[in-house]
Amino acid sequence: MNTTSHPASLARRHEALDADLQHELKRPLPDFIRIKRLKQLKLRLKDRLATSRLDQPPTRRA
């Protein structure tokens, strides 16, 4: 796996969780336990994404 695929997959998963969260919030009777779980997962992914981006070497500009 190259170094850009892992952050990209984390970002896609983060976006998918956000879409699930928005969908749940729009329901007539949202499941607040599910909302809490989705928010926790989303925050964990955001932290992992930030960590993985810090671990990458900086790209050189031409």
SS3 8: helix
d(CA 19, CA 24): 9
**Radius of gyration of the chain from its Cα atoms, rounded to whole angstroms:** 15
d(CA 17, CA 53): 19
Give the global pTM: 0.74
d(CA 13, CA 45): 8
d(CA 39, CA 44): 9
Q: What is the pLDDT of residue 53?
A: 77
pLDDT tens figures, 1-55: 455 568 889 899 999 999 999 999 999 999 999 999 999 999 999 999 888 877 7
In the chain, where the domains are located:
5-54
